Amino acid sequence: MIEGAAQAFTKGCFSGEFASCSYACPLHLDIRAFVEKVQRGSWTSAYRVLRDGFIFPDIVVELCEHSCQEHCARQLCDDPINICELERACLRYVKSKETISYNIPAKPNKIAIVGAGLSGLACALRLSVKKFQVTVFDSRKGYGGVLRDHLKAELFLEDINRQFAKEKVDFRFNTRVESLDMPEFEAIYVATGKGGDSFGLLDSWDSHTFATAKHGVFLGGTLVGAGLLQAIDHGSIVSRQIEKFIPTGTVYEYIDEYPLGKANRYINVENKESVALTPMSNHDGYTAEEAIAEAKRCLKCDCKSCLETCEMLESYHKIPHRMATDVYKDSLVMEGFASRIMTRQLSSCNMCGLCKTGCPTAVDIRDLALFARRDRVEHSNYPKAFHDFWLRQMDTAVNEAAAFLPPANQKTCSFAFFPGCQLGSSNPDYVKESYAFLTQQLNSDVGLMLSCCGAPAYWAGEEEKHKEIIENLRNEWEKLGRPVVIFACATCARIWQQFIPEANIVSLYEMIKQKLHDQGQPFVDEAAVFDPCSAREYSQMRESVRSLAVEAGIKIDELQFHDERAKCCGWGGHIQAANKELFDKIVSNRVEADDKPYIVYCTNCRDVFAAKGKPCLHILDIVFALDDGSRKVPTIKEKRDNSLKLKQDLLKEYWNLNYQIPTTPGDNLQLEIPRELAQKMEEKMISETTVRAAIAHAEETNEKIYDPQDKTYIASYVEGEFTCWVRFSKDDDGKYQLHKVYSHRMKFLV
């Protein structure tokens, strides 16, 4: 994996960074940390944050125009936090402003500061705190620059004296520096103020390093055009530049960690409660209680939008940057020498893209997970067992169960129905009724495309396999005369739009809505519409389904998450084999989201919910009066049988073709499977087809084990990535009974 390739997916994420207000602050105060301390009424701690950021807190609070407030996320839902007054309150209520002096050994390095204005003093203080030997020169008496003439000069002087109280700095006032040839000093900072003497170095000043043509001499502050507060920042930056310069004699480029552009990134405030600005009872400023109340309005912006909306991201609790870094680290792991850490997580993504919908910068973790899965597949180190079950189902859908036919007696068609692999597997009548309807409405000018869009391969990261399926679909579609494709499944529509964008598409429900009015069997009075996650991009599909339900006489309710905020039912991304616990949790959350029955228009949503006992109607159940929402989920074998029988029935009815359903080993065995075992098989994704094949194989080869105690036989059967074990008995009439069934992923080597 190329370094940075995974990280590119999360580039826009700003989780874990400073809040936008801090980027707007000329001195980059950690406002979130400051406000958090005010919220607790910890004035001393809050003051320390102010001092760390501002160097001279009383001066800065007085001079600052508080542009931070213009970049407060609160303004998106009500009023910005009154940060200015919180700072003033802090200065007012802190018990002691006494500085702390750290017991650090004195450094021998001598540094000269020319100019005792705010910038020079800021640099001097930062360096003296670290015990450098600092000498400050100024041609006039006392501190310079704005500090001389300001109305609050006394207050400013007090603050400066306070901050320098415990530091040893050699102030040489009334001392004009004539030349910078001062060999006793290892570095010099010239901060002589606006229009001040730059000793002829202004032209050579490098804004990226603050250095000049003269070795060891730095310029900054209002001398180079900075504003007052920026001048303080310059002093601070130069102190760090000097620290790096002294041991190496090299000047390094200064990296701006607080680019102003980052001040315009805001967290999602959609679900934030609106709280009005705290009123001030006294014109002099907030009381302590008022300040605390105002601080409590702060959203302490640190975007966790994706972690709050997605169960997977919430359960792993890793911010996108970290995930991307871990994906990259995993790619460097040498087999047997270290462990990968992202396998389970990247395999637990439903690929629904809700993270992107809620993300202020549209970071899509789905893309990262897909990228990682593809990379792992390409390097043959992805557990195949995670997707094997669905890939085998897909193989049936694109081979035995597939059919591409124009209407009888036509070579091409204007429309083609692509029901998707799951619709007919769940209930063949969904497809039969829909196709009959379309045939009638479109004057028989509608062909049939029975196949799979390849979503299982796409989600499994099997790029090559998916490409093959897409190529085949494209060829077949072209052979049909490039018809408009009618979709029942939003996932199919999405995949087609992404990979065969030249095809015009329309949803089945829209077609039905245009033609059917006041029809259908409601079965229920009231229901909640559960939008499939893949329908987020298809507003017409969503609206059509609602119209059909309403026309059938159902009062529909919206879930808390619907339309563009639709959540995956759990089936997306095929996470069940990799993370069953999470899958079950997601399904339960969806089922419990509303007590009313659900109306769905994705067969996977229907079957996933029905398996949990949730009354659930497919919109086609209503439109064609097929089911009242109590239909049980077909078993894995029934789904396979349904898809093949559907093909057989349709080919016979519309084309008068006889399709012979292929047999599988053990098809004809008389086999009884106790209910609890049948249930276990579905949970463990073991098909009855596999169980039958296992028994048939054991009987045919005699490769079985006899247990004399209960007179049962035991046999194993390898299918795909799984080894299935069956324990069975046979009665005198040749009937079989299944006693146990289980499967594992590892293989024993004979």
Applying CB under 8 A, the residues found at the interface with another protein are 335-336, 339-341, 343-344, 381, 383, 385-386, 578, 701-710, 712-714, 716, 725, 740, 742-750
Shorter beta-carbon distance to another protein: residue 188 or 346:
346
Shortest separation between residue 504's beta carbon and another protein, angstroms: 42
Alpha carbon distance 302, 294 (integer Å): 19
Shortest separation between residue 498's beta carbon and another protein, angstroms: 29
Range 94-97 contact pairs with CB under 8 angstroms and sequence separation of 24 or more: 94/43, 94/44, 94/46, 94/47, 95/43, 95/44, 96/44, 97/47, 97/57, 97/162
Residues 6 or more apart whose CB falls under 8 angstroms from that of 149 comprise none
Cβ atoms of 677 and 726 within 8 Å: the answer is: no
Shorter beta-carbon distance to another protein: residue 192 or 345:
345
Count Cβ atoms below 10 Å from residue 255 Cβ, excluding itself.
7
Element (H, E) at 257: none
Q: Which residues pair with 728 in a beta bridge?
A: 713, 738
Shortest separation between residue 749's beta carbon and another protein, angstroms: 4
Alpha carbon distance 458, 489 (integer Å): 16
Shortest separation between residue 455's beta carbon and another protein, angstroms: 22
Shortest separation between residue 438's beta carbon and another protein, angstroms: 44
Shortest separation between residue 721's beta carbon and another protein, angstroms: 10
Shortest separation between residue 715's beta carbon and another protein, angstroms: 9
Alpha carbon distance 380, 138 (integer Å): 69
Shorter beta-carbon distance to another protein: residue 471 or 700:
700
Shorter beta-carbon distance to another protein: residue 202 or 714:
714
Closest C-alpha to 52, from 75, 68, 39, 33: 33
As to burial, measured by CB atoms within 10 angstroms (0-12 exposed, 13-18 middle, 19+ buried), residue 631 is middle
- Taking CA atoms, 728 is separated from 112, 680, 698, in Å, by 91, 16, 10
Shortest separation between residue 698's beta carbon and another protein, angstroms: 8
Shorter beta-carbon distance to another protein: residue 96 or 339:
339
Say which amino acid occupies 157.
L
Shorter beta-carbon distance to another protein: residue 23 or 713:
713
Tokens representing residue 509 in the block: 């429900």
Shorter beta-carbon distance to another protein: residue 386 or 601:
386
Count Cβ atoms below 10 Å from residue 168 Cβ, excluding itself.
11
Shorter beta-carbon distance to another protein: residue 347 or 534:
347
Cβ atoms of 187 and 242 within 8 Å: the answer is: yes
Shorter beta-carbon distance to another protein: residue 534 or 690:
690
Cβ atoms of 692 and 668 within 8 Å: the answer is: no
Alpha carbon distance 610, 598 (integer Å): 10
Shorter beta-carbon distance to another protein: residue 561 or 725:
725
3-class state of residue 193 by DSSP: coil
Shortest separation between residue 746's beta carbon and another protein, angstroms: 4
Shortest separation between residue 339's beta carbon and another protein, angstroms: 4
